[in-house]
Amino acid sequence: MKRIILIDDHPIMRRGLAVLIRAEKGLDVCGEAGSAREGLEVIEKLKPDLAVIDLTLPDKNGLELVKDVRAAFPATQCVVLSMHDEAMYGERALRAGARGYVMKEAAADHLVTAIHKILGGGLYVSEALNARMLEQMTGTPRSKASGMDALTDREMEILELIGKGVATKNIATQLSISARTVEAHRAHIKEKLGITDGAALVRHAVQWVEGRAKV
């Protein structure tokens, strides 16, 4: 029996996923968590075979949690389950150490398949993302990233917090970095997005967060 934990801050979503997974022979949900901190504690205690991780958690970006899990518990595989655009986050999730990326809207049809594939030693992404990744490997050289694609995972995380109205000091506290480092990241974000002032950055961040929430 393969043991799985669910890390998502929505109890109803966790309940639905647990029913879906437990209906599959050979799979069981042995634990749940509503935050990154709780997730790491549950993984340390239960040593699951796989963790299903949401991208948006109350205390840490899911990509950072994937990195933490892979560093501290290499025997636990990770699959990211998110409502956010695969084109934006799929490759980032794999680079962070996840073995798969599934959109929440496709969970009923694809999550169990993804889990089996990952536990069998494979990777799982949609056909569209797989084709895009193959093109990058075998086709013409990829042009230099620009705009949102050029942002690092940390910069994306900070942009999201800015869009949620979190002040620089509080971002620093939440991410365990200095306020000066946050300001440096803000400057890099503005440069990459072609934004010239702080107010415009806040507007862009708010619009981006609101747009993602509607997905």
pLDDT in tens, 92-126: 899 899 999 998 888 888 999 999 999 999 999 87
Tell whether 142 is covered by a domain.
no
> Of the residues 137, 171, 200, which one is the last residue of a structural domain?
137
pLDDT bin (cut points 50, 70, 90) of residue 39 is very high
- pLDDT of 145 > 70? The answer is no
> Is residue 16 located within the same domain as residue 81?
yes
Tell whether 171 is covered by a domain.
yes
pLDDT bin (cut points 50, 70, 90) of residue 207 is confident
From the list 106, 74, 80, the residue with the least C-alpha distance to 92 is 80
Distance from C-alpha of 209 to C-alpha of 204, rounded to nearest angstrom: 9
- pLDDT of 176 > 80? The answer is yes
What average pLDDT does this structure show over 136-147? 59
> Is residue 158 located within the same domain as residue 112?
no
> Is residue 70 located within the same domain as residue 117?
yes
Average pLDDT over the chain, rounded to whole?
88
The pTM (predicted TM-score) of the whole model is 0.75
**Residue type for 58, please?**
P
Tell whether 121 is covered by a domain.
yes
> Is residue 202 located within the same domain as residue 109?
no
Angle CA 210–213–214, to nearest 5: 95
Higher pLDDT, 73 or 160: 73
> Is residue 114 located within the same domain as residue 182?
no
12 and 18 Cβ atoms separated by less than 8 Å: no
What residue numbers bound the domain in which 204 lies? Answer: 147-213
Residue 79 three-state SS:
strand
Distance from C-alpha of 111 to C-alpha of 104, rounded to nearest angstrom: 9
Q: What is the CATH number of the domain that holds 14?
A: 3.40.50.2300
100 and 80 Cβ atoms separated by less than 8 Å: yes
> Is residue 82 located within the same domain as residue 188?
no
Q: What is the CATH number of the domain that holds 196?
A: 1.10.10.10
Residue 192's contacts (CB-CB under 8 Å, 6 or more residues apart) are 146, 147, 150, 151, 155
- Domains: count for the chain: 2
